Each structure stands twice: as C-alpha cells, then as structure tokens.
Amino acid sequence: MAQEISDDLIEIHDPEINAAEIMAHIREQIARRRQEQGYAQRVFPSFGGTAYPGEPTDIEYDPNLYHHLRLANETFANVDTAAQLPATRATQFPIFGALWVRVRAYLHRIILFYVNRALTHQVNVNRHLISVLNQLTAQNQDQRRQILALKSQLESLRAAKEN
C-alpha cells in the first residue's frame, strides 16, 4: 500500500498548464529511472501499527485468545514509574530527616531516569509485538473464512458429483 502524494504540490494559475499531469509525468519519470537503475520498490509501514481486530461475528473463535489480545492492546503502555517514598523513622528527625528526604528523592530521580529510558524502549517493542499479534490474528480470521468457504464449495461439489 503505497501512500499517494497529493497533486497540489505545485500551484499554477494558468489554465493551459495542468499541474496534475505535470506531477504525474514527473512521478512516471522518477519511477522509470529508479527501475532502470535497479532500485527496489519500497513500501513504508504505516505509523501506529495494526489495531485490535475485534472478535469476529461470522466465524467461531477462541474467547481466551481475544480476551488476552484485547488486554494486551489496552495495557502494553501502562507503566507506573512514580517515586514511592513512604515516610521512615529517618525522616522524623528534625534536621537529618529533611536532608534525608531530599537525598532520597534525588537518588530516586536518578534511578527513574534510567528506568524510564529502558521502559520507553520496552513499550516501543511491546507496541510492535502487539501490532504483529493483531495483524496475525486478522490474517487468521481471513484464512478461517476462506477455509470455511472452500469447505462449503467442496461439499457442494461432492454433492453435485454424487447426484
């Protein structure tokens, strides 16, 4: 699925010149030139991945698969990295307690900086994996529909052959 580029890239206010035709000609020349030089046709993936396909209504399905796939889609990016700093005995001392609260908060911020970097990477990996699972599940649905249609055709051919 190649993305179409709009023809309003060039704006010409002359009725004898058709910008759409000029852009189409330019694109044809670029495609021909790329093919002559052996460039491979590139198709770039869409941003955001594949959405949750949803439970099919026309074929049987495993409810456990769709339950877990839906939960994976809803929760793959839910991470909580807020600092949890409950009060301790050390925080109750007048001067030392205030100093300890500050040092502890600073150390937690340093740790959370690196944890958040790792989590950002992991969330991106999870996003891609969930997208793949969604796409495989959608393909599985399509294949299941095709198998059922082929079985139906096979049964009707067998019935016609017997008669």
Comparing C-alpha atoms, which of 137, 136, 145 is closest to residue 60?
A: 145
pLDDT range class, residue 14, cuts 50, 70, 90: confident
CA gap 128, 124 in Å, rounded = 6
Express each pLDDT in 100-159 by its tens digit: 999 999 999 999 999 999 999 999 999 999 999 999 999 999 999 999 999 999 999 999
Going from the C-alpha of 91 to that of each of 57, 107, 112, the distances in angstroms are: 59, 15, 21
Q: Are 115 and 81 in contact (CB under 8 A)?
A: yes
**pTM here?**
0.61
Tell me what the mean pLDDT of segment 36-40 comes to: 84
Q: What gap in Å lies between CA 131 and CA 124, rounded to an integer? A: 11
Residue 9 has what DSSP assignment? T
User: How many whole angstroms from its chain centre is CA 152?
Assistant: 35
CA dist 102 and 132 (Å) reads: 44
Percentage of residues in the chain having pLDDT higher than 90: 52
CA distances (Å), origin 156, targets 32, 60, 163: 48, 21, 11
CA atoms of 146 and 135, how far apart (whole Å): 17
